[in-house]
Structure 1
Amino acid sequence: MLNITPETDNQTKIHQVITDAFGQTQEAELVDKIRNSSNFIPELSLIALENEDVLGHILFSRIVIETPKKIPALALAPLAVTPMHQRQGIGTQLVQVGLSRCRELNHSIVVVVGDPRYYKRFGFLHASQFGLHSSLPIPDEAFMVLELKPSALMNINGNVCYPAYFNEV
């Protein structure tokens, strides 16, 4: 049975899952950098456990949308499932539980860079529809946002400012 739970002392296993999922270490190193920053939220670094095996990981971390004021938001990055466990619904469960936890913790906005065909089913929409732009060079179709609270994005035109360590991915 799959159990979605906050990470505890599984950093080495998480690093391996992410490396295997992406076929490189950059995303796993990003997670390490986020974990060591003030943007890390331990309750929003979730793993999919089966027995004692880590099969997947999702991370939501603090970012800011620059408008005339600074609007707090979360970045969903990365989502990873071990290659032999992909296409079994583990990623979907991680996203669903993760978004639910974000709501429970009273967050309002989540941004993601990813495949629109995947993320649209969770309610993500193109960020440009809301007048949002990214500080990273991201294709418009891959830059998406989700309101966790109704009207959270109303009248927010601005630049989603990713921390510098995101530039290294």
Structure 2
Amino acid sequence: MKIRPETLSDCPAITEVNNLAFGQPNKGKLVENLRKNPKFIPELSLVAEIDWKIAGHILFFPVVIKLENSEEKEIMSLAPVAVLPEFQRQGIEGELIREGLKACQRLGYDSVIFLGHPEYYPKFGFKPANKWRITDPFGVPNEAFMALELKVEALEGAGGVVEYPGEFLEV
């Protein structure tokens, strides 16, 4: 398996991976829409390639926390991460997450926010975001909205509401 940044020719396969993994077309559309946003970072849209086939995809996208003091803090959002059904439960998602977090660190990002299964993601270091008084705009359960510090104390004083770009709300 090879994990690498996406290329232009990967785009249709990435859409398909996301649609099939989630069983709905909106996840693939989300990635397509985010790719058009000027804040899109190609080095943080990674694919897992097996025998020249795109088997998985992960995207990290910058969002902001509207801090309680009216300032903003940029944070990376992990969303989505997807693996084709026939390749699931083979460790591909975990490798995508680990490599994506390393890429975020290399590019200087200090923290990541994520909405996901509270039983799975803590093994990568994610903790409920309310630990730092960070909340989501969607009203999801606290244990499903998680954050990870890539740098020690990166989220200290970061209490506030995460603001997602419109693309997240369109799907």
TM-score interval, smaller chain: over 0.9
Per-residue deviation, 1:39: 2.3
Question: Is the contact made by 1:6 and 1:44 (CA closer than 8 Å) also made in structure 2?
Answer: yes
1:14 aligns to what?
Answer: 14
Per-residue deviation, 1:167: 1.7
Structure 2 residue identity aligned to 1:4:
I
Q: Residue 93 in 1 paired to residue 95 in 2?
A: yes
**How far apart, in 2, do the equivalents of 1:38 and 1:74 lie?**
15
DSSP-derived class of the 2:162 partner: strand
Q: 1:39–1:136: structure 2 CA closer, same or farther, 3 Å change rule?
A: farther
**How far apart, in 2, do the equivalents of 1:59 and 1:95 lie?**
9
The TM-score normalised by the length of structure 1 is 0.97
- 1:50-94 Cα offsets, whole Å, 9 max, x none, are 121000000000100111311011110000000010000000000
Q: Which runs of 5+ in 1 are unaligned?
A: none
**Aligned alpha-carbon RMSD (Å):** 0.9
Structure 2 residue identity aligned to 1:53:
K
DSSP-derived class of the 1:152 partner: coil
Question: Is the contact made by 1:136 and 1:167 (CA closer than 8 Å) also made in structure 2?
Answer: no
Q: Map of 1:69-108 to 2, 5 A cutoff?
A: 69-108=71-110
1:129 aligns to what?
Answer: 131
Q: Percent sequence identity over matched residues?
A: 42
Per-residue deviation, 1:136: 2.2
Per-residue deviation, 1:135: 1.8
Structure 1 residue identity aligned to 2:87:
H
Q: Residue 47 in 1 paired to residue 23 in 2?
A: no
The TM-score normalised by the length of structure 2 is 0.95
- 1:100-131 Cα offsets, whole Å, 9 max, x none, are 11111110110000001111000000001110
**How far apart, in 2, do the equivalents of 1:75 and 1:157 lie?**
16
